[in-house]
Amino acid sequence: MARNVSTQRKIVVTVVAWTIGILIFFPILWTFLTSFKTEAEAIASPPSLFFFDWTTENYHEVQSRSNYFLHFMNSVVVSFGSTLIGLIIAIPSAWAMAFSPTKRTKDVLMWMLSTKMMPSVGVLVPMYLMFRNTGLLDTRTGLVIVLTLINLPIIIWMLYTYFKEIPGEILEAARMDGASLSKEIIYVLTPMAIPGIASTLLLNIILAWNEAFWTLNLSAAKAAPLTAFIASYSSPEGLFYAKLSAASTMAIAPILILGWFSQKQLVRGLTFGAVK
């Protein structure tokens, strides 16, 4: 009897999970399908789901119009670069806040988060002027710097919460054995926090990959990442849905594949030791 109930529940849970999963995934699927339609089919109503003349002309068009590889490399450099630099800064600072907090630690954390509360456009002009004066406009370096700064509060917060769960006694033991501060962080803390660091890393790469405001505004021709590539295919007057979908598919594919691959690692990392 008990088994029957659990099977039923399993079915219900599975159906619910699949429904939610498909609902969430549907926009991406729709974008993917639209990218293989002609412009006329893309706006047709009622739309056809699978039964249309599949065509790759949008991909040809996008390839011939834009330098996809340049935008792709810019996105890779900017998102990976900013996340790695962010981690290098954030690990020591999260360590400090988690293991040797002071009276003001909570306030400092809140203050860091508060920098995310201001709308970005409010500081666009001063940032633009600073970038202009330092020659950083339309450079990958400039974008790495700005994305590092933008995502730093999130990285520190995430790492801080992960580090908080690691018992301080282990670090104390390492210190008793004569580990220096840097060794303590590199050889003791970091390996234990790998799952946390890995998920922080992935989340921030995705955030940086998708960041559209600063990457669009501070780049022009040379450093423009995939966000600018997508923005060049939308239009208020004209048919563009199919081409835009093709461009979007090409822009999200790399990060989607990365997500799929690292998902296994992440889940294993996150659940590792959970049964002990």
Partner 1 sequence: MNLRTFLLGTCSAVALSGLAQAETLTIATVNNGDMIRMQKLTEDFTSKNPDIQLEWVTLEENVLRQRVTTDIATKGGQYDIMTIGTYEVPIWAKQGWLLPLDNLGADYDVDDLLPAIRSGLTIDGKLYAAPFYGESSMVMYRKDLFEKAGLTMPDAPTWDFIADAARKITDKNNELYGICLRGKAGWGENMAFLTATANAFGARWFDENWKPQFDQPEWKNALDFYVKLMNDAGPPGASSNGFNENLSLFQTGKCGMWIDATVAASFVTNPKESTVADKVGFALAPDTGLGKRGNWLWAWNLAIPAGSQKVASAEKFIAWATGKDYLKLVADKEGWANVPPGTRTSLYANPEYQKAAPFAKMTLDSINAADPKNPAVKPVPYVGVQFVAIPEFQGLGTAVGQQFSAALAGQMSVDDALASAQKLTEREMTKAGYIK
Binding residues for partner 1, per CB under 8 A? 39-40, 43-45, 65-66, 124-125, 128-129, 132, 137-138, 216-217, 220-222, 224, 228, 231-240
Residue 130: CB minimum distance to partner 1, A? 10
Residue 67: CB minimum distance to partner 1, A? 10
DSSP state of 48: P
Q: Quick one: 100 or 134, whose CB is closer to partner 1?
A: 134
Q: Say how far apart CA 153 and CA 17 lie, in whole Å.
A: 32
Within 8 A by CB and 6+ apart from 189, the residues are 91, 95, 163, 166, 171
Residue 136: CB minimum distance to partner 1, A? 11
- Report H helices in 44-189: 57-65, 68-99, 105-114, 124-133, 140-164, 168-176, 181-183
Which is nearest to 248 in space by CA: 264, 234, 262?
A: 234
Q: Quick one: 76 or 216, whose CB is closer to partner 1?
A: 216
Q: Quick one: 118 or 221, whose CB is closer to partner 1?
A: 221
Q: Quick one: 188 or 226, whose CB is closer to partner 1?
A: 226
Give the orientation angle of helix 194-210 with respect to helix 241-271, to 10 degrees: 170
- Cβ(211)–Cβ(86) below 8 Å: no
Residue 228: CB minimum distance to partner 1, A? 7
Q: Say how far apart CA 137 and CA 141 lie, in whole Å.
A: 9
Residue 100: CB minimum distance to partner 1, A? 43
Residue 64: CB minimum distance to partner 1, A? 8
Work out the number of other CB atoms within 10 angstroms of the CB of residue 208: 26
Q: Quick one: 43 or 108, whose CB is closer to partner 1?
A: 43
Q: Quick one: 52 or 99, whose CB is closer to partner 1?
A: 52
